[in-house]
Amino acid sequence: MKKKILITTGGSGGHVVPALNFYKHLNQYNDVFLTSDLRGLRFIDKKIYNYKIIDVPDIKKNLLKIPLNLLFFLISIIKSLFYLRKNKIDKIISTGGYMTFPICIASLFTKSELFLFEPNMVLGRSNLFFLKVCKKVFCYSNSVRKFPQKYTSKIKLIYPVLNKKSYLLKNDFKKISDQKIFLLIGGSQGAQFFQTDLKDTLNKLSKKFNLLIYHQTNKENFKDLEIFYQKNNISFKLFDFDPNLEKIFVKTDFCITRAGASTLAELVFFKVPLLAIPFPYSKDDHQLFNAKYYKDKNCCWLIEQNELEKKDLFEIISNILDDKKNLKLKKKAMNELSSENTWENNNQIITKILYEN
């Protein structure tokens, strides 16, 4: 008998994209539903997913609006409760963040089993809030910081939850040009640093290497970056969100990136040499610990943003690219870490966790 499974998400791509991948893992043999706030809607293909928008106010964002936001928050819980009961949801997977609170709270009044997803190396605050009442927590590591010892038995390890297309494209590109393809990923937060502070470094690198730069940033930054790249005669392609990012990963020679859990997992899966510069204002410094996890496994280079004032980033990147032996070792380590991450393996693990007692 098919189970009715709801995946609740919203906000940034770091939350929504894994939710969509969970959806695809589960929808063949289950009735799968998806809820998101309005921010997450831009990542969702309306033709593919059975979704509902339950928007949730950020109560702390505007102190003057706290009373009104609390009312809207209560309404979103009531909507969530009706939605769970109407669709007779058996199991819920929450990808974390305040936007999942209404569904998770509503689950306390239904018989829906709650599962949490924590891809970061620091337990998120919303996941911590529901840790006592959840059934299991999907994690990529047993060593998640701030995870209370008494609940560690709830940790269930899975491989990074990637798009199914990634497994088909992993070894599908043969380089025929001497052009160096760079990828810059600023993420949904902190992209301003990647727009401004890297310009001098990129200009110097373009004098040494024949570059093509794929640059992910917010759309409001496009005009300024177009002027910079055209002025310095650097080949470039700008994008905000690309649902087929794996097609860029397979041909990338080097990536400079923030340290969101999903981004790092995908880059390692595709064996892309990467320099992680964690967003220094991420909650509980989780991006730093995400990057350290891979650095300790020899899968990446790591520089904290506040260190860059004392170091020559151009020289660092040049040395990385010139050291072919170390590049080879990094790729070998990445391959070993992700070699057993297949769609089938992860599907079996996820399904088993959801259905075990």
- Whether the pLDDT of residue 148 is over 70: the answer is yes
Q: What percent of the chain has pLDDT over 70?
A: 96
- Whether the pLDDT of residue 10 is over 60: the answer is yes
Structure confidence at residue 176 (pLDDT):
62
In the chain, the domains with their CATH numbers are: 4-162+341-355 (3.40.50.2000), 166-338 (3.40.50.2000)
**Residue that is written with structure tokens 């038995």 in the block:** 153
At 175, the pLDDT band (50, 70, 90 cuts) reads low
Give the residue, 90 or 111, on which the prediction is more confident. Answer: 90
**Residue that is written with structure tokens 């995908």 in the block:** 266
Q: What is the mean pLDDT of residues 255-276?
A: 97
Structure confidence at residue 68 (pLDDT):
86
- Whether the pLDDT of residue 244 is over 90: the answer is no
Q: What is the mean pLDDT of residues 274-292?
A: 95
Q: What is the mean pLDDT of residues 129-154?
A: 97
Structure confidence at residue 2 (pLDDT):
86
Rg (CA), the chain: 21
Structure confidence at residue 323 (pLDDT):
97
- Whether the pLDDT of residue 218 is over 90: the answer is no
Q: What is the mean pLDDT of residues 42-65?
A: 87
What mean pLDDT value characterizes the chain? Answer: 93
Structure confidence at residue 310 (pLDDT):
79
Q: What is the mean pLDDT of residues 56-61?
A: 78
Structure confidence at residue 106 (pLDDT):
98
Helix axes 343-355, 13-26, angle to 10 degrees: 80
pTM listed for this prediction? 0.94
Q: CA 299 to CA 105: how far, in whole Å?
A: 38
DSSP conformation letters of 61-107: T-GGGHHHHHHHHHHHHHHHHHHHHHHT--EEEE--SGGGHHHHHHH
Structure confidence at residue 191 (pLDDT):
66
Give the residue, 194 or 212, on which the prediction is more confident. Answer: 212
Q: What is the mean pLDDT of residues 128-136?
A: 98
Order of all β-strands in the sheet with 254-257? 235-239, 211-216, 180-185, 254-257, 274-276, 301-302
The DSSP call for residue 28 is T
Q: What is the mean pLDDT of residues 37-50?
A: 94
Strand locations in the chain (E): 4-8, 31-36, 51-53, 91-94, 113-118, 136-139, 155-157, 180-185, 211-216, 235-239, 254-257, 274-276, 301-302
Structure confidence at residue 173 (pLDDT):
61
Q: How many CA atoms lie within 13 A of 30 on its CB side?
A: 25
Number of H helices, E strands in the chain: 14, 13
Structure confidence at residue 308 (pLDDT):
86
